[in-house]
Amino acid sequence: MDIRLNNISKSYNGSYVLKDLDITIPDGAITCIMGPSGAGKTTLINIIMGLIAPDSGTVTGTAGRSFAAVFQEDRLIEHYDAVKNVQLVCHKKLSQEIVREHFNQVGLTDYDDKPASALSGGMRRRVELVRAILADRDIIILDEPFKGLDEDMKLKAISYVKEHASGRTVIVITHNKDEADALGGFIVILNNIGYNKL
């Protein structure tokens, strides 16, 4: 089922972040949301996930569906290791071996016996990405999921998302047109006036 945002508006302190926004996010595909800072990208995905309410307008196509997310801010349990951080939100039968194989696919190594607090920013990002994919939710939200990754690791991570999220609805926020092109999905560009869909 497509996610439809109908006439969505949201303001803070009297200033609109989103105004009269109409977007359809196709089911089972990747949609990249782009735009300058302050254009309302993170606000938009928070509305889709139901974390905040719009001032007006409706969202349909999300009822009864589950979400996995990589947020802009790291959300790992700092004293758990990388594998445990993934297993925490996944099916109880998910083995360490499967998690490690997925880490290998995103080029993540040298994480054994380290708490999350000891991992670099790029390593933490890949742990969160694998966790979102392996959580096996209907809709995957990725807010700047490739930040902190060098070009090589970024390409591995993009290939990983395309392979393992296939058939699910994926919404990616990125500032990087090359990332959006590599993901190969629909592109929605938010700006201070409205949006363009490519």
Query: CB of 30 within 8 A of CB of 186?
Result: yes
pLDDT tens for each residue of 101-142: 999 999 999 999 899 999 999 999 999 999 999 998 999 999
Pair of tokens at residue 3: 């996610």
Structural domains of the chain, ranges and CATH numbers in brackets: 3-197 (3.40.50.300)
Question: What mean pLDDT comes out for the span 11-23?
Answer: 91
Per-residue confidence band for 197, with pLDDT thresholds at 50, 70 and 90? low
> Quick one: pLDDT at residue 38?
83
Give the mean pLDDT of 66-94.
92
Which among 87, 103, 85 has a CA at the least distance from the CA of 95? 87
Task: Say yes or no to pLDDT of 196 above 60.
Answer: no
- C-alpha distances (whole Å) from 53 to each of 39, 40, 57, 114 are 17, 14, 9, 38
Confidence band, pLDDT 50/70/90 cuts, at residue 193: very low
Q: What pLDDT, in 10s, does the model give residues 135-191?
A: 989 999 999 999 989 999 999 999 999 999 989 999 999 989 999 999 998 999 997
Alpha-carbon gap, residue 153 to 148, rounded angstroms:
9
Would the pLDDT of 57 be above 60? yes
Residues belonging to the chain: 198
List the alpha helices (DSSP H) in the chain: 41-48, 82-87, 96-105, 121-134, 151-164, 177-183
Question: What pLDDT does 192 receive?
Answer: 58
